[in-house]
Amino acid sequence: MKVVIPLGTFEQVPLREAWPSEDENFTPWLAQAEIIPLLGKALNLELEVETVEHSVGPFRADILAHAIDETDHRVIIENQLERTDHSHLGQILTYLAGTEGAKTVVWIAETIQPDHRAAIDWLNANTPEEFSFFAIEIELWRIDGSPPAPRFNVIASPNPWTKPHRPDTEDNRIRSTYWASFAEFLRTKHDPIFSIARPPKGGLCRFPFVHPNVFIVASVMVKPPVVWVGLAMPTFPYYAALLSQKDAIQAEFSERLQWYERRVAGPPPRALIAVSRQSVDLADQTKYQDLHVWMFDRMERFQVVFAPCLKSLPQDNDEAENTEE
């Protein structure tokens, strides 16, 4: 007996039916923590929203996000619920030039016009490899009266799509091996905060903290051989607030801390409070267990010592961004 599975019928939904206004409806929707990964999946990037309506001189970029990978850079996202136009092409270049640490531009529209697709292709072919440009068309579809679902179609992208990439060097293979081992170690701790779902390919691994603008960061360097754990954050007001409590924090941490202001390369976080362990041979896997114990102990110590100091600070991303400017 043949079983016939009933099938539904696709129906495309006008974008304005779901989002009457780009700035009041679409941008806030896309910036939600549960929605931005949908765009990230289409781009092959893990994205976190940093701020909405990011100020660039007299202009405002729709969304400023952060790419959480070994390149650790900022992403400009510009939206149009209509056909692309020359004005927005100029805007995305202005936002890229005026935003520190921005390396990727994502232009989302209902329709990417052919000349604008050609412009994005030209930018990907003629700018340094560290910069990436995407043109994305968004659609809404429903099946037999279901709620509409978004679909992001990549119209133009870097070639290869994985640009910027990290070469398969011996140092990077050593770091990848270490992070995979550390991920297994963390699974034995059953700690919901300190876990690694996907081991990073580079030297940096970030963990969430009690404050959305602050991260516990672990790093391994092969040359020079250094392992460190720290707290990374925007310089103001978070670092300033902690610096005012430096003596008390130092005493409670019971280990020498290194305080850096505007010493972290790339996008925010721009300040770092860290503790390091020197002359570590990451090529010797027999020493990994000792390193894991050391790293996990310092991560927990940062959590215990710094969490009470930061819980009282404002947690609004826009306020933090505007204050720094």
Residue 271: what pLDDT?
Answer: 82
| pTM assigned to the model | 0.55
Residue 135: what pLDDT?
Answer: 93
Assess contact for 70 and 46: CB atoms under 8 A. no
Does a cis peptide bond (omega within 30 degrees of 0) precede residue 224?
A: yes
CA distances (Å), origin 232, targets 8, 212, 305 = 49, 11, 14
**What residue type is assigned to position 320 of the chain?**
A
Residue 319: what pLDDT?
Answer: 39
- DSSP secondary structure letter of residue 116: H
- pLDDT 10s per residue in the chain (325 long)? 677 788 888 889 999 999 999 989 999 999 998 899 899 888 888 888 888 988 888 888 999 998 876 566 889 999 999 999 998 999 999 999 888 888 899 999 999 999 999 999 889 888 887 789 999 999 999 998 889 999 999 988 886 554 444 455 777 788 889 999 999 999 998 887 888 877 776 778 888 887 767 889 898 888 788 899 999 887 667 888 888 889 999 999 999 999 987 654 444 557 889 998 888 888 889 999 999 999 999 999 999 999 888 877 665 444 333 333 2
* Distance, CA of 18 to CA of 151 (rounded, Å): 13
CATH of segment(s) 10-156: 3.40.1350.10
For 270-321, the three-class secondary structure string (H helix, E strand, C coil) is: CEEEEEEEECCCCCCHHHHHHHHHHHHHHHHHHHHHHHHHHCCCCCCHHHHH
Residue 322: what pLDDT?
Answer: 35
- DSSP secondary structure letter of residue 179: H
* Distance, CA of 287 to CA of 278 (rounded, Å): 14
* Distance, CA of 172 to CA of 271 (rounded, Å): 25
CATH of segment(s) 170-324: 3.30.1460
| DSSP-derived pairing of the beta strands 215-221 and 226-233 | antiparallel
Residue 266: what pLDDT?
Answer: 46
Of the candidates 93, 89, 90, which has an alpha carbon nearest to the alpha carbon of residue 109? 89
Assess contact for 14 and 109: CB atoms under 8 A. no
Domain spans of the chain? 10-156, 170-324
Of the candidates 104, 114, 124, 111, which has an alpha carbon nearest to the alpha carbon of residue 40? 104
- Sign of torsion, CA 170 173 179 184? negative
Cβ-in-10-Å burial (0-12, 13-18, 19+) of 289 comes to: exposed
What are the E-state strand segments in 57-202? 59-67, 73-83, 102-111, 132-143, 149-156
Token couple for 229: 């754990």
The answer to whether domain 10-156 and domain 170-324 are alike in fold is: no
